[in-house]
Amino acid sequence: MCARTIDEIFYIFAQNQRNATQTEQIKVPVRVRIKDIALKAGVSTGTVDRVIHNRGNVATKVKEHVERVMTEMGYKRNLIASTLAYNKTLRIAALIFDQDDPYWFQINQGLEKAQEATLHYGVNLDTFFCDQGNPVMFQKLATEIVESHPDAVLVAPLFLKEGLHFLQLCAKKGIPVAIINTQMPKAKALCYIGQDSYQSGFIAARLLNFGMKKKATVLLLNLDPGPTNAQHLLDKERGFREYFKDDGKSITVLSENFEQYRDQKALKSWFIKILGKYKDLSGVFVTNSRAYMLLDCIDKRYFQDIVMVGFDLVGPNIEYLKSNRINFLINQNPVLQGYLGVINLVNHLILRQEVAQIQYLPLDIVVRENCDYYTRANVSYPATIF
Amino acid sequence: MCARTIDEIFYIFAQNQRNATQTEQIKVPVRVRIKDIALKAGVSTGTVDRVIHNRGNVATKVKEHVERVMTEMGYKRNLIASTLAYNKTLRIAALIFDQDDPYWFQINQGLEKAQEATLHYGVNLDTFFCDQGNPVMFQKLATEIVESHPDAVLVAPLFLKEGLHFLQLCAKKGIPVAIINTQMPKAKALCYIGQDSYQSGFIAARLLNFGMKKKATVLLLNLDPGPTNAQHLLDKERGFREYFKDDGKSITVLSENFEQYRDQKALKSWFIKILGKYKDLSGVFVTNSRAYMLLDCIDKRYFQDIVMVGFDLVGPNIEYLKSNRINFLINQNPVLQGYLGVINLVNHLILRQEVAQIQYLPLDIVVRENCDYYTRANVSYPATIF
DNA sequence: ATTCTTTTTGTGTGCGCGCACAATAGACGA
DNA sequence: TCGTCTATTGTGCGCGCACACAAAAAGAAT
């Protein structure tokens, strides 16, 4: 009675129907089980199992036959049952940066969301926080992580050299790695989830360019502690400059790093100096989420005719966006980066699904009027794995 | 040995570890099972089960005790096991519109994606396609659907009256409904997933306004068959007009319906006439995904000084966006609308989770430079339920 | 033909939960 | 005290799969 031939793949829906008051019978595709394959192929479930998982020890002839029956009947592994029976835990180690920074706080929110969603799949997330601008600490945490033998790793490799080293270590140990935030083309990881930095710089330029005069100076500003050798910053700058190359105007692109951005006075006097030097400064592009820090210490009136473009929907940025002091923000979707980073590892390791190697998140253009829709968390990225 | 007291909620991770070469022991939170609760509370699993599901037939004292133990130990239902054991099928009937229209094609793609993702949860999706501009057919299909006793319904209530009627029928039968695309404030449904139409009209206006002269005329154009009584169109127009009310300029907003949009000649001559009448026409806002239809039949040179804003990333629109004939598109995320519509019903019925009643999708501003990131399907909306 | 390997195939148990049904205790009247 | 009825509690099976182990069949060697 559990027997189902290929011709019986459809069964009467009413049987399983809860409110089976209806007499009308509706046919519904039924899920084919290992048992059904075994019966049809005239073997035991164990043999089918061996074929499915390529465990070997199956006569070639039998194997082929079973495979044929499987495709005929359209077998699909039941992920629910499979996961339940698999019954393994998975430890993921994540290496990100200190949560004082609202951007990294949001990344971590994504991680926590993912942890919650995957708890039932036996996923355990260990998150390590590195101080920004501290490659030594990064190196140390990386070593610690590798030595703790995690099943998978998620990392934001802000430091070029140390990041690469970490990835190589993981590769040697056979630990799959998901990269977020900063792409590392040279490294072979399971996947990268984040933005196309080059293109984000390009778009930033385009947004600055809206209504800009024929001749002007624009400033690309890195507010980063320590040396900015992160790949994504270099790419952003490339994209930014590229746009102005052939826009038909005559725009001078100035690019500057300012490391002591936490020192308001220093930042202020430095920027005022820039303003004095470049009288036609009409656009500022802050390459990370710290645009607000510049605005915090410089008076409104200096920005009268300057278009501001920044990154990320962090609290202070949003305020400036709403008060029209920032014109555009490009959303890097930190929450989704963290979330998808974990999800992809789980997809790979537990659900054994293919994952795309490069997953560029959209470059959301955020203005005052559509800002709320990106910040409100009312859209339920499914709270549970589908 | 299965016994776990509250103090033993942490156990040694290495036990379950696959590559258990390590000697270091890592503590990991363990998932509490019904069995653990039962043991701790000194009752049987059946009793715990009755408490969890509020099935009654439990002495008040015992019930309270079990509940206390549950919160103490932090019990969380294992969705995997729960779903597997629940073993019910769920038939969802979806009522959307004919797939010839690329927009509705994308909605359906979302539905199919969701069907695939939820197959393991025993979800069966029945999709009904209504002809656009045909309320009679809508009514008929709605009746048919209600009579087939689905477990849940997903609908895009383009027709005000018929939509409301459908929703009332479902409410009477106790069938939960997810609404997409068109909000119906009066109806009480499980949830609405789509855009804030008012705000999308508002943003469209803002985008048109970029670099527009002080005095100009803009056209809001409905290309819809039949009477456009859909709520979302009305809301869009409200938002659109609202923006120009206090922008400090003097913009005349013209709004027109043109039903025979499929007739290229008619559309062309009609639009040329408009152009002749309003010499200062400098912006056109097409309120749905059919902006391309206008461009298809009107020569490029007529649009020299006209900013175009439309909706949706359908093929022809994208082409015009890339060739600079459409300046902005607002993405309504049709795929996600369909996908989340189904997912939310499943979340509600199978996973028995709370779902938010209004889920506004972001108002993505799409320009030539960020278009690809919205169309590429490389970001894996988790292929399986989380 | 017999024994011993090796290959191939079959069977049984458990994952955690939901639910039907069996079992027990308590209440009450005869 | 006993039976009966009801309120409460306990037990067992199945969901579909993964995996360990038992069983059988097929070769290989004597």
* % residues pLDDT > 70 (chain A): 89
The verdict on A189 and A338 lying in the same domain is: yes
Whether the predicted pLDDT of B1 surpasses 80: no
Measured CA to CA, the distance from residue B287 to residue B272 in angstroms comes to 19
Q: Is residue A369 part of a domain?
A: no
Could B360 and A376 be called an inter-chain contact, meaning their C-beta atoms sit closer than 8 Å?
Answer: yes
Q: Is residue A323 part of a domain?
A: yes
The verdict on A216 and A264 lying in the same domain is: yes
The tally of domains found in chain B comes to 3
What's the CATH number where B252 sits? 3.40.50.2300
Could B386 and A343 be called an inter-chain contact, meaning their C-beta atoms sit closer than 8 Å?
Answer: yes
Measured CA to CA, the distance from residue B74 to residue A221 in angstroms comes to 48
The verdict on B261 and B184 lying in the same domain is: no
The verdict on B154 and B44 lying in the same domain is: no
Measured CA to CA, the distance from residue B294 to residue B310 in angstroms comes to 11
Which residues of B spanning 68-127 put their CB closer than 7 angstroms to strand C? Answer: 77-78, 81-82, 84-86
Measured CA to CA, the distance from residue A212 to residue A214 in angstroms comes to 7
Asked if the C-beta of A343 comes within 8 angstroms of chain B's C-beta atoms, the answer is yes
Q: Which residues of B touch A148 (CB under 8 A)?
A: 22, 24, 26
Is B54 near strand D, with its CB below 7 A from some atom of it? no
Measured CA to CA, the distance from residue A192 to residue A73 in angstroms comes to 36
CB A365 within 8 A of CB B367: yes
* % residues pLDDT > 90 (chain B): 63
Contacts of A138 (CB under 8 A, 6+ apart): A95, A130, A158, A159, A162, A163, A166
CB B124 within 8 A of CB B131: no
Q: Is residue B225 part of a domain?
A: yes
Per-residue pLDDT, B227: 66
The verdict on B72 and B35 lying in the same domain is: yes
Residue B167 CA, nucleotide D3 C1', distance (Å): 56
Residue A36 CA, nucleotide C4 C1', distance (Å): 37
Q: Is residue A297 part of a domain?
A: yes
**β-sheet with A191-194: strand ranges across:** A123-130, A90-97, A152-155, A177-180, A191-194, A358-360
Q: Is residue A243 part of a domain?
A: yes
What's the CATH number where A44 sits? 1.10.260.40
pTM of the model: 0.86
Per-residue pLDDT, B310: 96
- Domain extent, residue B111, equals 90-195+334-361
What confidence tens digit (pLDDT) does each residue in A214-258 have?
A: 788 999 999 988 765 778 888 999 999 999 987 777 888 999 989
The verdict on A218 and A257 lying in the same domain is: yes
Per-residue pLDDT, A213: 78
The verdict on B265 and B158 lying in the same domain is: no
Rounded to an integer, the average pLDDT of A27-50 is 88
The verdict on A234 and A276 lying in the same domain is: yes
Q: Is residue A372 part of a domain?
A: no
Whether the predicted pLDDT of A128 surpasses 90: yes
Residue B29 pLDDT level (bands cut at 50, 70, 90):
low
The verdict on B183 and B159 lying in the same domain is: yes
What confidence tens digit (pLDDT) does each residue in A323-376 have?
A: 999 999 999 989 889 999 999 999 888 877 788 899 999 899 999 999 998 887
The verdict on A45 and A60 lying in the same domain is: yes
Whether the predicted pLDDT of B8 surpasses 50: no
* % residues pLDDT > 90 (chain A): 64
Measured CA to CA, the distance from residue B157 to residue B350 in angstroms comes to 25
Q: Is residue A381 part of a domain?
A: no
Last residue of a domain, one of A311, A331, A351: A331
B 71-110 near A (Cβ less than 8 A): 76, 78-81, 83-84, 88-89, 91
Query: Could you give phi then psi for residue A251, rounded to 5 degrees?
Result: -105, 130
Residue keyed to tokens 């393991």: B120
Per-residue pLDDT, A144: 97
Comparing B231 with A68, the larger pLDDT belongs to A68
Could A380 and B355 be called an inter-chain contact, meaning their C-beta atoms sit closer than 8 Å?
Answer: yes
Q: Is residue A14 part of a domain?
A: no
The verdict on B285 and B320 lying in the same domain is: yes
What confidence tens digit (pLDDT) does each residue in B88-147 have?
A: 889 999 999 998 999 999 999 999 988 888 888 889 999 999 998 899 999 999 999 999
The verdict on B38 and B116 lying in the same domain is: no
What confidence tens digit (pLDDT) does each residue in B32-76 have?
A: 999 999 999 999 999 999 999 999 899 999 999 999 999 999 999
C chain positions with any atom within 7 Å of a protein CB = 7-12, 14-21
SS3 B10: strand
